[in-house]
Amino acid sequence: MTAEFDVAVIGGGLVGAALAWGMARAHQRVVVLDEGDIAHRASRANFALVWVQSKGLGMPEYASWTKRSSDAWQGLAEELEQSTGVDVGFSRPGGFTLALSDAELEARAQQLQRLHNQPNMVRYPYEMLDRDALLARLPRIGSEVVGASYCPLDGQCNSLRLLYAFHTGMRQLGAEYRPGHVVHAIDYQNGVFLLRNSSAVVQAEKVVLAAGIGNARLAPMVGLKAPVRPQRGQLVVTERVEKFLGHPLVTIRQTEEGTVMLGDSQEEAGLDETVGLGVTAAIASRAVRMFPLLKSLNVVRTWAGLRVMTQDGFPIYDESSSRPGAFLATCHSGVTLAAGHALTLAPMIAAGSLSSDLDVFSARRFDVQTAA
Amino acid sequence: MFRRLPDAAAAAVTIAVDGHFVPARVGDTVAAALLAAGFGTFRTTGVSGASRGPYCLMGVCFDCLVAIDGIGSRQACLVQVREGMRVETQRGRRPVGP
């Protein structure tokens, strides 16, 4: 059993790259097999939030996992900058979710109350703010804003630089990156995985499926399941303007360079990545009601991306019982969870098994729902 | 750097650039008028503060951005001058309104 690599990661987006970097850092011989530019890459379309508030209603373990990654993010950012020279632009000033009506504010308050009332919910601070309290912190809000939820743990980064830093870092640590390498079949012989495409076979002792919505196709090859679907999100970005917003909002944030990103639409549109004026207009209109100053800014680009969504919205982390050494990781929050993937999940896979506190994230949870 | 062709005979108009009157001709783009008047730098960038001026003159490069009649970051090469037009060169990131 002398495979060429300790581990092959399928997928070179944020999830795959974070895991590859983390495993190379744990002295594994890593190869990353990536589709390359043709991939439906969620990592190119995301909003770059490192977001905690409101996550985990229905699965408090997800709230814990999210908070744990958020807490580790500063260390990750520092290590990436020291080792690769890439500043991933992380800050954690706390984030807001604004409400444009009393009904929205009340619904938000109830949602967060239900979240935090769950048994085994991890404890962290958050606040509901009325308009006056919010004005003290976000003086540029429009007259329709009635209040907000605030959580000091929320932050943001530059997710394109994050992807670049992981790729730079993993290669520094000896990982091999092979773009344009779609995996067609995965065989398992004498404890070694053989990953085939039309022209090559890669041998590895472990394999990690981190191919986003591609995991649905790959998972059965190693005796796993990945019931994920694409969910389209559209984004709008403006020209660079003077800094007016120092905090990320769930639908609006200003980047370090001054552009303003508007987003967070959620549409079921299959693999269609096109942008529609109806949705971007709705995004822009809501954003202008929140910050009227946005009205005069030029939009420089709109685009759409496909989130990787499970039935319940939570990640899947799994290992195969029929093909020991095969793992799967899939989620829609590859930025927020980057530190958890790189610093916690990657060492587990490097060591050969997932710890039992990740059992709850297995796709077996969907079998239970089907039976019931 | 630029001189008008001697046979350029279009009617004269006057625009204001950063508060100064600048002569132009009907049919000029804002970029052409500013270049003819000796402006090399139209703006400085929002990140490094580097100087920028018209490069492609056909709407592609976005280096000629100026504020026109109060609306910022317009492409000077795609807008024709009008009598009394107010143009401001831009320094760094655009200010945001109230």
State the DSSP string of A304-337.
EEEEEEESSS--EEEE-SSSTTEEEEE-S-TTTT
* pLDDT per residue rounded down to tens, chain A (372 residues): 578 999 999 999 999 999 999 999 999 999 999 997 777 778 778 899 999 999 999 999 999 999 999 999 999 999 999 999 999 999 999 999 999 999 999 999 999 999 999 999 999 999 999 999 999 999 999 999 999 999 999 999 999 999 999 999 999 999 999 998 999 999 999 999 999 998 889 999 999 999 999 999 999 999 999 999 999 889 999 999 999 999 999 999 999 999 999 997 888 888 887 777 788 999 999 999 999 999 989 998 999 888 899 999 999 999 999 999 999 999 999 999 999 999 999 999 999 999 999 999 999 999 875 555
**Chain B interface test: which of A143, A239, A243 (most B C-beta within 10 Å):** A239
Half-sphere exposure at residue A83, Cβ-oriented, CA atoms within 13 angstroms: 20
Residue of A241, A295, A298 lying closest to B93 (CB–CB): A241
Strand A147-151 with B90-91, pairing: unpaired
Beta-carbon contacts of residue A333 (< 8 Å; ≥ 6 apart)? A51, A55, A66, A315
> A176 in helix, strand or coil?
strand
What is the dihedral angle through the alpha carbons of B58, B61, B63, B66, rounded to the nearest 10 degrees? Answer: 50
Nearest CA-CA partner of A333 in A32, A120, A63: A63
Q: Give the whole-angstrom CA distance, residue B73 versus residue A237.
A: 14
Count chain A–chain B contacts defined by CB atoms under 8 A.
35
Put simply, whether A126 touches B (Cβ < 8 Å) is no
Residue of A241, A257, A295 lying closest to B94 (CB–CB): A241
Put simply, whether B6 touches A (Cβ < 8 Å) is no
User: Does A297 contact B94 at a Cβ distance shorter than 8 Å?
Assistant: yes
A residues 233-252 lying closer than 8 A (beta carbon) to B? 239-244
- Helix H or strand E encompassing A301: strand A299-310
Q: What is the pLDDT of residues B37-92, one digit of tens each?
A: 999 999 999 889 999 999 999 999 999 999 999 888 999 999 999 999 999 999 99
- In chain B, which ranges are E strands? 12-17, 20-25, 43-44, 51-52, 65-68, 71-75, 86-88, 90-91
B residues 25-64 lying closer than 8 A (beta carbon) to A? 46-47
User: Does A296 contact B96 at a Cβ distance shorter than 8 Å?
Assistant: yes
pLDDT for A271: 80
DSSP tag of B89: -
> How many other C-beta atoms lie within 10 A of the C-beta of residue A289?
17
pLDDT for A42: 81
User: Does B46 contact A298 at a Cβ distance shorter than 8 Å?
Assistant: no
- B47 chain-A contacts, CB cut-off 8 A: 240, 257-258
The alpha-carbon gap from B48 to the nearest alpha carbon of chain A, in Å, equals 10
The alpha-carbon gap from B5 to the nearest alpha carbon of chain A, in Å, equals 35
pLDDT for A278: 84
Alpha carbon separation from A294 to A51, A125, A263, B90 (Å, rounded): 23, 30, 14, 18
CB A32 within 8 A of CB A202: no
Residue owning tokens 């408090």: A60
User: Does B73 contact A239 at a Cβ distance shorter than 8 Å?
Assistant: yes
If you count them, how many residues does chain A have?
372
User: Does B72 contact A298 at a Cβ distance shorter than 8 Å?
Assistant: yes
Closest-CA residue of B relative to A293 is B97
- B97 chain-A contacts, CB cut-off 8 A: 293, 295-296
ipTM: 0.81
CB B47 within 8 A of CB A257: yes
CB A59 within 8 A of CB A312: yes
Report pTM.
0.91
Beta-carbon contacts of residue A252 (< 8 Å; ≥ 6 apart)? A245, A260, A261, A262, A287, A290, A291, A294
Residue owning tokens 């709705």: A282
Q: Give the whole-angstrom CA distance, residue A276 versus residue B43.
A: 33
Q: Give the whole-angstrom CA distance, residue A334 versus residue A11.
A: 12
Q: What is the biggest distance separating any 2 CA atoms in chain B, rounded to whole angstroms?
A: 47
Put simply, whether A143 touches B (Cβ < 8 Å) is no
| Secondary structure of A100-161 in HEC code, one letter for each residue | CCHHHHHHHHHHHHHHHHCCCCCCCCCEEEEHHHHHHHCCCCCCCCCEEEEECCCEECCHHH
Beta-carbon contacts of residue B73 (< 8 Å; ≥ 6 apart)? A239, A298, B65, B66, B67, B90, B94
Q: Give the whole-angstrom CA distance, residue A251 versus residue A264.
A: 6
Q: Give the whole-angstrom CA distance, residue A109 versus residue A175.
A: 46
Beta bridge partners of A206: A7
Alpha carbon separation from A310 to A4, A82, A225 (Å, rounded): 33, 35, 11
pLDDT, greater one: B33 or B1: B33
Put simply, whether B98 touches A (Cβ < 8 Å) is yes
Helices marked H in chain A — which ranges? 14-25, 60-84, 102-117, 131-137, 159-172, 215-218, 277-290, 338-340, 346-351, 364-371
User: Does B96 contact A242 at a Cβ distance shorter than 8 Å?
Assistant: yes
The alpha-carbon gap from A259 to the nearest alpha carbon of chain B, in Å, equals 9
**Exposed (0-12), middle (13-18) or buried (19+): which is A127, by Cβ within 10 Å?**
middle
Q: Give the whole-angstrom CA distance, residue A364 versus residue A282.
A: 38
CB A335 within 8 A of CB A158: no
Residue of A242, A293, A298 lying closest to B93 (CB–CB): A242
The alpha-carbon gap from B87 to the nearest alpha carbon of chain A, in Å, equals 17
